[in-house]
Amino acid sequence: MPGFGAVGQHLKLREIFLVRALVTGAAGFVGSHTSEALLRLGHDVLGVDALTDYYDPELKKANVRLLQDSSAFEFRQADLLDTDLTGLLDGVDLVFHLAAQPGVRSSWQNGFGVYADANVLATQRLLEATRGTAVQRFVYASSSSVYGRAASYPTSEETPTRPFSPYGVTKLAAEHLCSLYADNWGLPTVSLRYFTVYGPRQRPDMAMNRFISAVLEDRAIPVYGDGEQVRDFTFVSDVVAANLAAALTPDVPPGTVLNVAGGGSITVNGLVELLGSIVGRPVRTEEQPRQPGDVQQTGGTIELAGQLLGWRPQVTVAEGLAAQVAWQKSLRG
C-alpha cells in the first residue's frame, strides 16, 4: 500500500529515544494510523477514544482491535470532557490530540453545542492538564477549514483565517488555545492544518468513501453543486508522517502552525473521472444542491512544513485513491 512504509523511513534519523505517547481519537481514522505508526517505531501508546456514535462505533472498535495486537498499546474508552486527565498524562512524553467532532454539515443549528464541547472545551481541558507535566510536544490536529473562503490560493499559514462553517470556527478556536498556552506557559504545541485527508479507514461520511461506495454498489455519485469545487487531498500516511515529524523534530518553536496538504489539487469532477479509470467502468453522477459551509476551493502551501520538519507529501491522488478503492473492496469480501 503506497506511503505507509515511508513513515518510518522519513523519521528514522529523528528517532533518538523511545517514548510514551497519548493519542486522543485513537480509534478513529487518523488516530488509528498514527497509533499504528508509533507502535511500529517501538513507542508505547495510550489510546483514548469516546467511541461516539457520529458514525458506527463498530468501525472504531475494529481499529482498536488491530492496535491491540501490540503489547505496547493500551486503550481506554473515555470522554475528555469528564475523565481524569491527570491520570491519562502520567508518564506521557508526547500528546497527539486528534480527537474531535468532525464534519461541516452537522455543525449548524442545535448541533453546534456538541462541536463547542468536543472541539474547544475538551482541548482547553487537555491543554490545562498538560501544562504542569513533562510533555515534550503537544501535536494538535487542526483543519484547512480555518481558512474558509480565502481571497487567493494556495493559502499559506499567514493567510487570514475566516472560517465558513461552525465546525471551522471550533477548530480555529482550539488552535488559538494551543497558541496562547504556548505563548503564556511555553507549552510546546504544534498545530497542523490538515487538508482533506483520505485513505484506508476513512470515515464513511467523507466524500471519497461515499464516492467509492456508490461506484462499488453501482449507484450514482451525489455531487453537491457543479462539481468544480477544488480540493487538496492528502493521503493518510502523509498526514501520519507530518504528525510524527511534528512530535519528534527538535527545536520547533512552541505555538507553531503548519499546513499539511497533499501538494496537488483536483476538482470533484476530476476526482470522479479518475475514480472511473481506476475501477474500469463509467461512473454516474447525480447533482445535488450546494451545501452551506462548503467552500469552493482548498489548497495550501507546504514550504514551512518542509523547512521546519523536513516533511513533504509522498503519495499522489491517483496512488492514494487506488489504495482506498482496494481497501473498500476488501471490506466487501
Name the nearest CA neighbour of 36 among 189, 233, 244: 244
Alpha-helix runs per DSSP H in the chain: 4-11, 29-40, 57-67, 85-88, 112-115, 122-130, 166-185, 207-216, 236-248, 268-279, 303-309, 317-330
Distance of alpha carbon 279 from alpha carbon 216, whole angstroms: 8
Q: What is the pLDDT of residue 9?
A: 46
- Write the pLDDT tens digit of every residue in 138-157: 999 999 999 998 888 899 99
Residue 223, amino acid? V
Domain 4-195+235-262+299-314 belongs to what architecture? Answer: 3-Layer(aba) Sandwich (3.40)
Per the CB < 8 A criterion, the answer to whether 193 and 259 are in contact is: yes
Catalytic residue among 147, 167, 194, 198: 167
Cβ(249)–Cβ(188) under 8 Å? Answer: no
Domain ranges of the chain: 4-195+235-262+299-314
Round to whole Å and give the CA distance between 328 and 50: 25
Annotated catalytic residue 167: yes
Q: How many CB atoms sit inside 10 A of residue 291's CB?
A: 12
Element containing residue 96 per DSSP (H, E): strand 94-97
**Which residues are bridge partners to 259 per DSSP?**
193
Query: Which parts of the chain register pLDDT below 50?
Result: 6, 8-15
Question: Taking a C-beta distance cutoff of 8 angstroms, is the pair 230, 270 a contact?
Answer: no
pLDDT at 293: 62
Q: At what angle do helices 166-185 and 122-130 cross, to 10 degrees?
A: 10
pLDDT confidence of residue 153:
87
The pTM (predicted TM-score) of the whole model is 0.93
